[in-house]
Amino acid sequence: MTLDTPYRAIFCDLLTDTTLDILPLRDVQCDDYIGRAGSLSGTIPLPDRTIAERAHKVRAGRTAVYLERGGDLWWGGIVWTTNLQSSDRGVMTLGIQAATFDSYATRRRIRRPITFTQPTDQLDIARTLWADLSAGLGKSAVEAGKETSEVLRTASWRLGDETVYQEALDQLGAQENGFEYQILVYRDPVDGRRLRQLRLGWPKIRTGATDMVFDRPGAILSYSFPDDATRGGTTALARGASTNSNAAAESRPTVSEEMLSPDLGEWPRVDLSSDHNEISDVATLNSLATAQLKAASGSVLIPEISIRLGGIVPPALLGRTARIRITDEWHPQGLDARYRIVGVKFRPPERGRPDTAELSLEEA
């Protein structure tokens, strides 16, 4: 990215969110997803001593970076690694690798008892976990909303198990009738402050009241519809923790019931399995197995389209419904289908390359 692009890379102190500098960033690639961390990579050119001194402020694990487009925040996260390089011709660069703010949950472990013995809204449990872990970010802590679901659960995590917060959140949300989460970055419309908000969606995160329409020929530059049977199955079993208290006996895990797809018979028997080493409740394991089977029964289709970004495309794309209309040799009668956007990859314009985005989709 250079000064003639619509993007700016804003580097900030992670704990206070104080702006450190706005630096040029080249070879930028970034993505964001619902339910898992996105990433950003790029290179800060160091052509002279002045830029090099400014880039000294970018420190791995202590710096946040935001990607701004047209005054809106399109991406935000934590710089986890930097790589200072000098070529044999003396060209110096500082490479950065960053991940969205939800990646912080992978670096924190539960080190106090957290227990919900009474049935509690699963989104309240998720907010408690996020409030607990994001307190370590100081003034940059993630703010929570007030979403609710119709699902009540019990849950507990013990001191000493060293459970990673992300694992706890993923297991909670992966159960049957679970939820999705994402960290949204945006500016306060009143004072312009950068905000980080935890979005919880039950059973799905959905954004916007109207469909975004993409056509080919038209705004769609290219597309792919991979249909992957290696990721699907027709049976599922979840394995949990061992409950054997006799050290002399063989240790065996707690297992769920074997869940069968209603499509078994039309499809061959293909087995799915998942491990949850800190769960010993059979009902919870049954719920996890059922949810896995629903998400991957038969084969898994994850369409992707590449579009040219323009003024009509908003920054908050995740969770929006896209209406895809394609007419070509494969779809001579025309495809007209609705999908939910679950992943976004941005490619800022550079060296003649247009400003584009790749959208990962699932059936709406």
Query: Minimal CA–CA distance to 234: which of 202, 262, 206?
Result: 262
pLDDT given at position 9 = 96
Partners of 144 in beta bridges: 198
pLDDT given at position 152 = 97
The CB density around residue 51, as the number of other CB atoms within 10 Å, is 17
Determine the Cα–Cα distance for residues 85 and 233; give it in Å rounded to an integer: 46
pLDDT given at position 311 = 62
Determine the Cα–Cα distance for residues 331 and 170; give it in Å rounded to an integer: 37
The C-alpha angle 84, 6, 323, rounded to 5 degrees, equals 110
pLDDT given at position 1 = 52
Query: Minimal CA–CA distance to 263: which of 238, 233, 300, 237?
Result: 233
pLDDT given at position 248 = 59
Task: Give the three-state DSSP class for 357.
Answer: strand
Q: What is the mean pLDDT of the chain?
A: 93
Residue type, 283: A
Q: What is the DSSP letter of 123?
A: H
Query: Minimal CA–CA distance to 285: which of 339, 243, 342?
Result: 243
Q: What parts of the chain have a pLDDT lower than 50?
A: 2-4
Residue 95: burial class (beta carbons within 10 Å; 0-12, 13-18, 19+):
middle
* Distance (Å) of CA 356 to CA 40, 184, 300, 318, 338: 15, 20, 26, 16, 21
Instruction: Judge whether 101 and 79 are in contact, CB under 8 Å.
Output: no
Q: Which two tokens stand for residue 178?
A: 């679970």
pLDDT given at position 310 = 72
pLDDT given at position 2 = 45
Q: Would you say the pTM of this structure is higher than 0.85?
A: yes
